[in-house]
Amino acid sequence: MVQDLRIAVVGAGRMGSDHIQRITRVVSGAYVSAIVEPDAGRAQAAAAEAPGAAVFSRIEEAIAAEAMDAVLVSTPGQFHAPVLEPALEARLPILCEKPLTQDSASSLDIVELEQRLDRPHIQVGFMRRFDDEYAQLRELVASRASGELMMVRAAHRNPDVPEQYTQNMLITDSVVHEFDVLPWVAGSRVVSVEVKYPRRNSLALSHLREPILVIMELENGVLIDLEMNVNVQFGYQVTTEAVFERGIARTGEPSGMQVWRDGRVSTTEHTGFETRFARAYDAQVQRWVDAVRDGRLVDGPNAWDGYLVALCCEAGVRALTDGGVQSVVAPERPAFYA
């Protein structure tokens, strides 16, 4: 085992600050040695959470100062590629928040750049793979204990989204998670995507037409229907019902203490992804740290997985705007990413 891993967190906004607290308070074998953030106020606020961390405004400065052994990228998606490129050139292991990059062409550029190294260096932050229930569901599918999986009914519900959330972000920022985790659970890749519009929620932001219904077909014939809804008001909810030949399985159901009062029974629901997936984010970062420290560098979705999801997102955006059933055509996975 090497010394505690020195991590540079690049981008100290909502997710970056959450990761800084996680690395500082929860994860073992690592600490935040550098914060890269162009917004001075955010950088200072983040530095207060990570005693001793050096602050930089550009990743190139942190690399030149040799301020880290590994990089956690939590800038907005359109700024992932400009951070990934110098980090790869410096041969640094990387945990990159989803998406890998904003489109499949730039994702392909990244996987081509990465293949010049001796092995994969990038793990992509599709943290749902580290959620216990998704992992159990994947095992149930693979075991065939309930027979073959036939269909999946999923829901991804956010209480609200900020004004700058666009129509395409329903796919590229939100459904992006299901494009990774559901094929991983089902053991088969996405071959087509279709989007249907139910009646619009009059409470949605005026520029959004939502909720939407996303239908994915997998290569093995499994059909997935996903309600993507970013304006449910009551809380944050991600649920999956898997339909097998001899049974069903459900994940994401509300759990915890039930309270009976005034003729009602209630259970607390999550209000954001930070609590709903807290254990998954913790496990994701811990396993990445462990993998970097023992030389494996990646223990989870890699850059090729990120590229496949980028292809799905492009088909999803086409389905959102042009309608119809949009195919996802993916090349063979290179042996480098086996």
Ligand X SMILES: O=C1[C@@H](O)[C@H](O)[C@@H](O)[C@H](O)[C@H]1O
Ligand Y SMILES: NC(=O)C1=CN([C@@H]2O[C@H](COP(=O)(O)OP(=O)(O)OC[C@H]3O[C@@H](n4cnc5c(N)ncnc54)[C@H](O)[C@@H]3O)[C@@H](O)[C@H]2O)C=CC1
Binding site for ligand X (CB under 6 A): 158, 173-174, 177, 273
273 is a site residue for ligand Y (CB under 6 A): yes
13 binds, among ligand Y, ligand X, none (CB under 5 to 8 A by kind): ligand Y
Give the one residue of 62, 77, 161, 212 binding ligand Y; rule: CB under 6 A: 77
Read out DSSP for 22-91? HHHHT-SSEEEEEEE-S-HHHHHHHHHHSTT-EEESSHHHHHHTT--SEEEE-S-GGGTHHHHHHHHHTT
CB-based burial of residue 118 (10 Å sphere; 0-12 exposed, 13-18 middle, 19+ buried)? exposed
| Ranges within 161-200 binding ligand Y (CB under 6 A) | 173
Question: By C-alpha distance, which of 49, 37, 36 is closest to 90?
Answer: 36
64 is a site residue for ligand Y (CB under 6 A): no
Taking the complex as a whole, the smallest distance from the CB of residue 38 to ligand Y amounts, in Å, to 5
Between CA 254 and CA 177 the distance in angstroms is 20
Residue with tokens 């219904």: 213
The residue among 143 and 164 lying less far from ligand Y, judged by its C-beta, is 164
98 is a site residue for ligand Y (CB under 6 A): yes
Residue nearest to ligand Y (CB): 13
16 binds, among ligand Y, ligand X, none (CB under 5 to 8 A by kind): ligand Y
97 is a site residue for ligand Y (CB under 6 A): yes
Between CA 70 and CA 95 the distance in angstroms is 8
Give the one residue of 5, 11, 114, 137 binding ligand Y; rule: CB under 6 A: 11
Between CA 92 and CA 84 the distance in angstroms is 9
For residue 4, the surrounding DSSP H or E stretch is none
Q: Which residues pair with 96 in a beta bridge?
A: 73, 124
39 is a site residue for ligand Y (CB under 6 A): yes
301 is a site residue for ligand Y (CB under 6 A): no
The residue among 217 and 307 lying less far from ligand Y, judged by its C-beta, is 307
The residue among 76 and 323 lying less far from ligand Y, judged by its C-beta, is 76
Coarse DSSP helix, strand, coil percentages of the chain, rounded to the nearest 5 percent: 40, 25, 35
Q: What's the sign of the alpha-carbon dihedral 274, 14, 121, 288? A: negative
Six-digit token pair at 64? 């030149």
Q: How many residues bind ligand Y (CB under 6 A)?
A: 25
The residue among 80 and 177 lying less far from ligand X, judged by its C-beta, is 177
The residue among 41 and 263 lying less far from ligand Y, judged by its C-beta, is 41
Taking the complex as a whole, the smallest distance from the CB of residue 291 to ligand Y amounts, in Å, to 18
User: What are the residues binding ligand Y (CB under 6 A)?
Assistant: 10-16, 36-39, 42, 74-77, 79, 82-83, 97-98, 125, 127, 173, 273
